[in-house]
Chain A
Amino acid sequence: MQLTWLWRGLRTGVLTTRYPRRPERMPDGWRGTAVLQRDQCVVEGAPPSCVTVCLPRALSVEETGGDRRLRLDHAACIACGLCVAACPRGALSISNEFELAASSRARLISEHRPKGDRAA
């Protein structure tokens, strides 16, 4: 009996990923996280339609001195993809990127940059 199991185990061969030594990728359609095309977004509507469909409130509008910016928090995004369809300008998409971990929240935030804004 034990031998049968051993035989099955050996026959399976090596399946193990070599990550991180060899790069890996997730399938094309896999939803990793939302991606904001920073210069496409116009922050239209109050709130914008993408913000209303986002269940975990990963999308929000930051208002500082009359300047409205869309903020995307990748740490909150559940990659449901609903904002992609909601955006009339195609500013949001879903990527299959999987190397998403970060050591600080700040690194997980994308902020849209209005056109002509040259401040980093």
Chain B
Amino acid sequence: MLHPDADPARVRGHSRGGGATSFSRIEPLAGAIPVSATAELELEGLAIAEWPDRVRRQTHRESVMFADLFGTADPDGGVSLTLLLSLPDGGRWLALRDRIEAESTYPSLVAGGFPAAEWYEREMLGSLGIHPVGHPHPESLLRGAALASADMARFAPLPAGGHVVDFPLGPVRSGIVESGHYGIRTVGEEIVDLRLQLGFKHRGVEQMLAAVAWPLAPRVAERISGTDGVAHSMAAAGALERLLGVDVPLRARQLRSLFGELERLYNHAGYQADLCGATGLAVAQAQFDILKEQILRLAARIAGHRYLFGTIVVGGVADDLDDAALNDVRDTVRPVRDAFEALIDLVATSSSHQDRLQTTGRLTLEEATRYAVVGPVARASGLAVDARRDHPYAAYDALRPTLHVVDGGDAAARSQVRLEEGLASADLVLDLVEELRESAPLPALPSPASRTLPGDTVGFGWAEGARGTELHWVETDRAGAIGRYRVRSASFACWQAFARCVPGDNILTDFPIIEQSFGLSFAGSDR
């Protein structure tokens, strides 16, 4: 459906400079509904009431996954709502967009067949004040400073009988952990309800991303979640590159994949260390910590930063790696890989460890689909999603990583997926080193940093971090300044399912293990 005023030349999408590059041109935000189509992202203006039907029609043709739902405050006071869907079969994304008045209401998408939209709508309720009609729990998700005193009053009605105990946990907790608040209600040993309060770490990164000079955006994006820094900066750079119509040279894309896989590798090792710590397997914890430290030290040697901050820039990478550095990568990662493989067997046969993980914190495939979880959490519940395969970016179109999907859905399954993925990441790094030896040196391209962004345009980027797919959405205003920056982090996509899968079969002492087995970050979800 084309908007009557739309210029067909603009609607057809703009592939400046080759097929890999495309961005979506939208009509001016004020007034007309934006209508656009490109190879990667299809942007369609459609009244919200028709969204469920539109998606249902799409579902007949191909699989459709909920990815994001967010609102954009327009300069004239309205709110543009965007529903972002992943169409993995064709490697495309579909965005539906409508405009409503500020402070007004709209039909809840939860009621319209998108259960995953629940927390997204609650977030918009808090930040934009728009009310979803028909939403099961219409209350703000991020309650800012007011949430400092956590209220336990919002629990479900008391179950009859039993000895009910409520445990408030957080925001400051023991050990070195991130700040977040859990309200846990138990009857006897069993956890019957869990309230999760996000937002303690909300520091306004999205606003900041919109305010800084755009070439600095990847530097800010790294600090959304430091241990997913490469994924976030890659997603930010991708969004801006599509906006500018910039092509990234092959070698830079390979280096991006290399950095991304190194990041995944150290995260997977660190995750296992923490999980082994939670079950009391101290030697294994130390062994995985050693592997993580070895990768962090490698990163410091080759890229000057232990968490690889500063490596990804809009248009490519900050620095090339020479042969000495590539040898260093190979010589470090190969023994790490072998040690990782040996530890997989040991962990799998450690019954004290496995006993604590099996059947703990089970997330069924149905629930995983329902809440549109991503990353290893999804893959451990049998949901085969991975942006590296579904929407290839960087050098993944040639790499074709294998997906590790298992069915269990419990902590053991999540641990298994991340063990296998750690090994796979190490293998990918070693493959990439060989490919980088062959690939042509980085061409000296003029930096796009001096250019201005095109006005009234959308740029969209993504990357698969260790915790799942990170999505960055950038909109410019008429003058080419960034008007809205949206980040959907992998952690945000998974917390909602986490809160659902704890109550039920789990006992209180399982809680730290379930939390650890999800391996999510508050920094990423709170932004």
Contact = CB atoms under 8 A, between A and B. Distances in A.
B219 A29 contact: no
Contacts of B284: 5
Interface stretch (B198-206, B344-352, B404-412, B507-515): B344-352
B283 A9 contact: yes
Given A9-B283, A31-B304, A81-B310, A55 B351 contact: no
B219 A80 contact: yes
B329 to A, nearest CB: 14
A104 interface: no
A3 to B, nearest CB: 11
Contacts of A79: 305
Nearest to A7: B283
A94 to B, nearest CB: 8
Contacts of A8: 283, 287, 346
Q: Which of A1, A4, A15, A27 is most buried by chain B, counting CB atoms within 10 A of its CB? A: A27
B281 interface: yes
Interface in B297-356: 297, 300-306, 309-310, 346, 349-352
Contact of A9 (B287, B301, B310): B287
Nearest to A52: B213
Interface string A54-70: 01000000000000000
Contacts of B283: 5-6, 8-9
B216 interface: yes
Given A1-B351, A9-B286, A12-B290, A26 B300 contact: yes
B212 A27 contact: no
B220 interface: yes
A29 B304 contact: yes
A9 B283 CA distance: 6
Contact of A30 (B304, B351, B352): B304
A29 B286 contact: no
Contacts of A5: 281, 283-284, 346, 350
A49 B236 CA distance: 24
Chain B interface mostly helix, strand, loop or mixed?
helix
Interface in A19-74: 26-27, 29-31, 53, 55
Contacts of A15: 290
A84 to B, nearest CB: 11
Interface in B276-296: 281, 283-284, 286-287, 290
Interface in A74-92: 78-82
B271 to A, nearest CB: 19
Contacts of A55: 212, 216, 219-220
A31 B305 contact: yes
A26 B310 CA distance: 18
Given A1-B351, A5-B346, A12 B287 contact: yes
Contacts of B350: 1, 5
Nearest to B298: A27
Interface of B: 212, 216, 219-220, 281, 283-284, 286-287, 290, 297, 300-306, 309-310, 346, 349-352
Interface of A: 1, 4-6, 8-9, 12, 15, 26-27, 29-31, 53, 55, 78-82, 94
Q: Nearest 8 CB-CB pairs, A to B?
A: A5-B283, A9-B283, A27-B301, A29-B304, A31-B304, A30-B300, A27-B300, A30-B304
22 contacts: A1-B350, A5-B281, A5-B283, A6-B283, A8-B283, A8-B346, A9-B283, A9-B287, A12-B290, A27-B297, A27-B301, A29-B300, A29-B303, A30-B301, A30-B304, A31-B304, A31-B305, A79-B305, A80-B310, A81-B304, A81-B310, A94-B304
